[in-house]
Structure 1
Amino acid sequence: MFSYDELTSPERALWDAFPEGRRVDLRPDTPQEDQVADGAQWGPERTVRAAVLCALLLGANSGQPGAVAQLRLTGARIRGRLDLAGAQIAHPLWLEACWFDQAVNLLGASTQTLVFTGSRIPGIEADSARIEGNFSLRHSVVEDGAPTPFNRLSTALSLTDARISGALLLNGAHLIAPDGWALSAGGLAMEGGIFCRNGFTAHGEVRLMGAQLPGTLVMQGARLEKPGPRGVALTLDNATASSLKFSQGFTANGTVRLRGTQVRDNVTFDGAVLNGPPAHDAHAPALTALHLQAVDLDLTLARPPSGTLDLRGAQVSYLHENEHTWPQRVELDGFVYGSIKTADADDERHEAVGNRESVARRLAWIRSSPGYNPQPYEQLATWYRRAGHDDDARRVLLAKQRHRRRTQPPAGRAWGHLLDITVGYGYRPWLAGIWLLALTLLGTMAFATNSPTPVKQGEGAPFQPLVYTLDLLIPIAGLGQRTGWYWTSDSLQWLAYLLIALGWVLTTAVIAGLTRTLQKN
């Protein structure tokens, strides 16, 4: 415990102001010329020992009746370590434009509102802390401190398993831990939102694995940087949230991970830039959203991602896309969506009446997936059917069969080509009519130039080239012409054999294609 005589002049001013909650401002008369970055050079007239702050917050100078005691200090250099680990703090703490010589330790503490505005702090450790109110670091610079018991990596701000009843305000803050975690908050439980706007930057991974965010995570305009070829800029694996807003110029130079994240409302990347890890590997993930669950997923990006977009197993009600949504490689197996909304107004107008170009564009991002997976085709076809675009659904299913054909052995590929040419795998049965018409015309013209020999003289119907050709092409039933005539010309006889064979092939292809279509429908 301190005696009043041991306090310096700025410490006495703070000591006297604390019971009434008055602010003590140690800045010079020209604060516009005062920079927190120069805090290491501030002299004794602006220096307050961290031990004095601890003593006040722990009840060294009790409050006065009719006043709310709180610690409010501006423009001070905090000398020593502000160590409040495990403390029960009943007073709000407001520190503005302060320079900290050492990291702040709030491990396991129970506190009221904490405000560190426009300050420079070499690390904050608040694992398992309980904060009744807001925790604000607006416009502050928090640099990596010493490893914590929960994390051996360097960490700027550590909130692992912390509980915050208000909001976490990081607007304009800079969290710096390039080789570690800018924010380590696995298991963080919030009652309010997390706000990272107005120039927020993080050099190092922002880690929110398993966090409970009933409010909104707002990172509009934020910039996340994680060096390294496999750098992860943001991790929200298995977190729960009301909504996630990565928009208005949000930039991630590193992977954004939303694996198993459950969002009750929307996840938006409207106008975002997803650069992925700073490597020359196009397959490095820019966004990993395996098993993401959300109502809306807005991927109307500012430009195409530089890495892979992984949506395997994700489930959303509405998918919003634009011309920049899809990179060179997309993982879509198991991705389920109820509807697709396209940002381009002209494309939406074409969608209403069916548009082959839009179908081709969506098929391109399905084919960009490695290997063959039928589910993305089936999902897209299902959506087109629900929208009333049956022709587009058939185009998608035909593309699925053509993609599948490339994975089959030679015999399967040959049979697939035959089904494609003749009936379009059953999705274009009118092709069979064109083939039948062409072969009928060919046979009729060839057989009309010559007269065949009757099998039995004077018996049977007269020779009819058209009916004879149809009798050759149709293997089921008979029209009485094929069995009543034969040719002495080898070329015409071989033509007859060829038409019989093509008739069987055409009929088999029609049956196979239509059977597949009926089974699917």
Structure 2
Amino acid sequence: MRGADPCAGAGDHYSERAFSYDELTSPERELWNAFPEGRAVDLHAGVPGDDRVAEGGQWGPERTVRASVIAALMLGAHSGQPGAIPCLRLAGARIVGPLNLAGAQLAHTLWLEECWFEEAVNLLGATIQTLVFKGCRVPGIEAGATRIEGNFDLGRSIVESGAPSHFHHHITALSLTNARVAGGVILNKAELNAPGGWALAAGGLVMEGGFFCRSGFVARGEVRLLGAQLPGGLFMNGARLEEPGPRGVALNLDNSVASSVNLSNGFVANGTVGLRGARISDSLSFEGAVLNRPPDGHGPSLSAPLMQAVDFDFALAEPPSGAVDLRGAQVSYLHDSEHSWPEVVELDGFVYGSIKVDEAGGRREAVGQRNSVAHRVAWIRRGPGYNPQPYEQLASWYRKAGHDDEARRVLLAKQRHRRQTLPPAARVWGHLLDVTVGYGYRPWLAGVWLLALTLLGTLSFGTHSPNPVQRGEGAPFQPLVYTLDLLIPIGGLGQRTAWYWSNDSRQWLAYLLIAFGWVLTTSVIAGVTRALQKN
């Protein structure tokens, strides 16, 4: 940020001499006379082409005011009149020199509209009432540790960046680091330009009102609000964030506390949106937003591990181009759509109370939809590696909604995913558990196998009679009972020990049925035990 030494106080800067009325220029005298009564001074030429703020550097002496005169008035150089409230209101001016009010205690409102600043504004550590730079062009504003008792309005302004300051290692357009604002911060239609640096540095900002960056707000560089306290909410619907900071971060809300965060209705971030550890007591909305990975192709589109919110609306306009990280996040209501999820989604530890989707102009629980389980399992499988928690969380949601069958299907999908991580022998056993009893979540499969093997044995053994072990003793041969005696490994029905086959093929079939009986029994016990343990 360019301008005067940010450590120099306003009193030090202007105490060397007082202004005499005679040395003021005509527009400065007009401002001097208007200040005690709070009257506005408008220096616009009235010709649209001549009043463009972008061309303010070409404005002549009739529209030029020294920043030192503004500072002197704000510091009490021209006291107010009884019955009037002093206020500095200036429009359409070219302001030359550095406006340095660092550390000042300012009792009056500063209202500048469509003014062009030659140098940066320094309000470091100052205390001021309402502060308005509406439609201005400013080469940097340092307002770190500033206390603003009213609103801070930069609507329609363009704030450029300069060189790194004493307090920021990166180029910064607007600094509100550790500032306190009793009202709101209004950046609607503003532009903050610090490509590759910090468009807004507001870590530790404490506010009482809302933070508004709507209606065409553009930031080139990182919007940095980590650890900010925003009880009035953050509203960036329709904002556009470009040319992110050095880490590829477009918006940094890590560890911030807010009532609501609105990043919807055309919000575009060409860089990572960071919400690590953020706590949002109401809604977090990305409805209709576009989230792109950083321009260098590295880093996620959304990084929100350990984030907490009540209502999380992630119904984006299109799938994010980068990964979405929700590890350890907790939300009460998740609202998503077909455009919500990229190829990589990290869900380990993500906890939600319900999932809602749009239907017939409203929202309803996503359970009961066609292919609901397949869709949600595919969502989980987008995560890198195997993690059991996302499956358990999804199954828990289905159970709470009264869909136990869907919950079992999710847990079965979990076991199949886990099987891929096991050594070969364990994978073989896993396949056996899957086809026999579905890992205990499909116990009816055991009945199907038992019926099929019983039918096979009965038909095979019913065409010929075996040889008795002892002639004239024991029960007569019954193919069905004999087959069941082979399949049931515990106990006995008296047939298997009383008869044997001289035919090798049927004897081998008997051995095979005995083996299948043991495998089927073991699978049933293992699968049911696994299901009961919810493993």
TM range (shorter): over 0.9
| 1:463 and 2:477 matched | yes
Unaligned runs of 5+ in 1: none
Percent identical: 71
| 1:324 and 2:372 matched | no
Correspondence for 1:240 among 251, 254, 257: 257
| 1:489 and 2:506 matched | no
Q: Cα distance 1:251–1:350, how it changes in 2: closer, same or farther (>3 A)?
A: closer
Secondary structure in 2 matching 1:470 = helix
Q: Please give the alpha-carbon distance, in whole angstroms, between the structure 2 residues aligned to 1:231 and 1:179.
A: 8
Secondary structure in 2 matching 1:215 = coil
Q: Please give the alpha-carbon distance, in whole angstroms, between the structure 1 residues aligned to 2:433 and 2:362.
A: 32
Secondary structure in 2 matching 1:220 = coil
Secondary structure in 2 matching 1:28 = coil
Q: Cα distance 1:392–1:277, how it changes in 2: closer, same or farther (>3 A)?
A: same
Q: Cα distance 1:483–1:229, how it changes in 2: closer, same or farther (>3 A)?
A: farther
**One-letter amino acid matched to 2:72:** A
After TM superposition, list the pairs within 5 Å mapping 1:276-287 onto structure 2. Answer: 276-280=293-297, 284-287=299-302
Which digits, 9 at most, give the CA deviation of each residue in 1:353-378, with x for residues without a partner? x3451211111110111111000000
TM-score (norm 2): 0.95
Q: Please give the alpha-carbon distance, in whole angstroms, between the structure 2 residues aligned to 1:345 and 1:362.
A: 21
Secondary structure in 2 matching 1:13 = helix
Q: Cα distance 1:347–1:423, how it changes in 2: closer, same or farther (>3 A)?
A: farther
Correspondence for 1:407 among 416, 421, 429: 421
Unaligned runs of 5+ in 2: 1-17
Correspondence for 2:88 among 66, 71, 77: 71
Q: Please give the alpha-carbon distance, in whole angstroms, between the structure 2 residues aligned to 1:460 and 1:435.
A: 29
Tell me by how many angstroms 1:432 deviates.
Answer: 0.7
CA contact (8 A) 1:116 1:137 kept: yes
Pairs aligned (count):
518
- Residue aligning to 1:357: 371
Correspondence for 2:466 among 445, 452, 456: 452
Secondary structure in 2 matching 1:178 = strand
Q: Please give the alpha-carbon distance, in whole angstroms, between the structure 2 residues aligned to 1:427 and 1:148.
A: 63
Which digits, 9 at most, give the CA deviation of each residue in 1:391-421, with x for residues without a partner? 1100100000000000000011000000000
Structure 1 residue ranges, 4+ long, deviating more than 3 angstroms after superposition: 227-230, 344-352
Q: Please give the alpha-carbon distance, in whole angstroms, between the structure 2 residues aligned to 1:147 and 1:349.
A: 50
**Larger deviation: 330-339 or 25-34?**
25-34
Q: Cα distance 1:286–1:153, how it changes in 2: closer, same or farther (>3 A)?
A: same
Tell me by how many angstroms 1:30 deviates.
Answer: 2.6
Tell me by how many angstroms 1:343 deviates.
Answer: 2.1
Which digits, 9 at most, give the CA deviation of each residue in 1:235-272, with x for residues without a partner? 01111111100001100000000000011111110111
Tell me by how many angstroms 1:347 deviates.
Answer: 11
Q: Cα distance 1:62–1:31, how it changes in 2: closer, same or farther (>3 A)?
A: farther
After TM superposition, list the pairs within 5 Å mapping 1:59-458 onto structure 2. Answer: 59-227=76-244, 230-280=247-297, 284-345=299-360, 351=366, 354-355=368-369, 357-458=371-472
Secondary structure in 2 matching 1:264 = strand
CA contact (8 A) 1:125 1:148 kept: no
Q: Cα distance 1:261–1:391, how it changes in 2: closer, same or farther (>3 A)?
A: same
Secondary structure in 2 matching 1:343 = strand
TM-score (norm 1): 0.97
Tell me by how many angstroms 1:229 deviates.
Answer: 8.7
Q: Please give the alpha-carbon distance, in whole angstroms, between the structure 2 residues aligned to 1:21 and 1:350.
A: 57
**One-letter amino acid matched to 1:341:** K
**Larger deviation: 355-364 or 224-233?**
224-233
**One-letter amino acid matched to 1:86:** G
CA contact (8 A) 1:312 1:332 kept: yes
**One-letter amino acid matched to 1:420:** D
Tell me by how many angstroms 1:148 deviates.
Answer: 2.6
Q: Please give the alpha-carbon distance, in whole angstroms, between the structure 1 residues aligned to 2:333 and 2:139.
A: 43
